[in-house]
Amino acid sequence: MSRVILGIESSCDDTSAAVVRDGVVLSNVIASQKVHESYGGVVPELASRAHQQNIVPVVAEALRQAGVSKDELSAIAYTRGPGLIGSLLVGSSFAKGLSLALDIPLVEVNHLQGHALSPLIRESEEDSVPPFPYLTLLISGGNSQIIVVKSANEMEIVGSTIDDAAGEAFDKCGKVMNLPYPAGPVIDRLAKTGNPKAFRFSKPHIPGLDYSFSGLKTSFLYTLRDELKTNPNFIAERQEDLAASLQNVIIEILMEKLEKSIGIYKPADIAIGGGVSANSGVRGAVEKLAAKHGIKAWIPPLKYTTDNAAMVATVGYYKFLDGDFSSLDETPYAKIAAKL
């Protein structure tokens, strides 16, 4: 008998729904919110209101594209956290209501667990997935973590940011460069024609496998301040070089800790996930690092790097197989747990 899982993702500013049958994605629908661009970041209240408008049509479209009726669903998986509480409440409330109406199990999913398991997303029966255990670098707007993925339901965070994440460094530095939000994709594009060695920014010296990007951000701001004193057009004139140098040092910081973790845990496979894993420089650096150590790198398709319900439904599928269901009493949470 087929297991058909509906996944719902609403942790931040994208409303997404996906349908997975026996681990294979049948549909993945995402409604993005453009309202935040003029504010330079996500406005929580506006995000939750947009989720309320989008969730019914997004779920309906996911079911339509999958060719599945709601009566065929085996379970509903939803993002419980971490994320914006207002946004999470919309998705969790809808999932709970639909679960009650259809009398089918509910599965809660950790958003970061979804990114960590993105290499398990399959679009056909022939798609291969990494064997357990594997090491993953999860990099997004709010998280920079190194995770040992022992199984679909057992993971351990062995390194994490102690302040800003890589995505925040891109966005905050991009803001002072007068780039639109989110700045990461724009910096990636500009970096392709810039000199990555044009500027030197401070790199952190954090022990262990933890990350820090706040010092880099401060170093970047000081460089701009000093240059603008003598040249008011400095940012416009050196935009490509600034982008290339910033991206280069962020990648160096990420890869140094990832390589250190490879030396400690000796994985046969490494993977990346999260919004920053869409960065072309990061993707190339991970492949290069894997080749250096003779291991395999699992790089997710671009459409599965940002927030999406396919990863939620995929996690939900594996939890369903384990009988790992949740109750209606469980409430959303905003913060990250020490373990996934």
DSSP secondary structure, 189-245, as one string: HHHTTS-TTS--------STT-B--HHHHHHHHHHHHHHHHH-TTHHHHTHHHHHHH
Amino acid in position 84: L
Say what angle helices 166-176 and 214-230 make with each other, to 10 degrees.
20
**Helix, strand or coil, per DSSP, at residue 145:** strand
Scan for tokens 């600034």, then name that residue: 242
Task: Compute how many other C-beta atoms are within 10 angstroms of the C-beta atom of residue 233.
Answer: 8
Taking the C-alpha atoms of residue 314 and residue 248, their distance in angstroms, rounded to an integer, is: 33
Model confidence over 163-205: pLDDT tens digits?
Answer: 999 999 999 999 999 999 889 999 999 999 999 999 999 999 9
Closest CA to 66 of 32, 18, 30, 110: 18
Write phi, then psi, for 131 (nearest 5 degrees): -75, 155
Amino acid in position 70: K
Residues whose CB is less than 8 angstroms from the CB of residue 249 and which lie 6 or more positions away in sequence, other chains included: 200, 201, 203, 216
Scan for tokens 């779920």, then name that residue: 59
pLDDT tens for each residue of the chain, 340 residues long: 799 999 999 998 889 999 999 999 999 999 876 655 655 667 777 888 988 999 999 999 999 999 999 999 999 999 999 999 999 999 999 999 999 999 999 999 999 999 999 999 999 999 999 999 999 999 987 889 999 999 998 999 999 999 999 999 999 999 999 999 889 999 999 999 999 999 999 999 999 999 999 999 999 999 999 999 999 999 999 999 999 999 999 999 999 999 999 999 999 999 999 999 999 999 999 999 999 999 999 999 999 998 899 999 999 999 999 999 999 999 999 876 545 5
Taking the C-alpha atoms of residue 146 and residue 272, their distance in angstroms, rounded to an integer, is: 9
Return the structure tokens found at 213.
């990007």
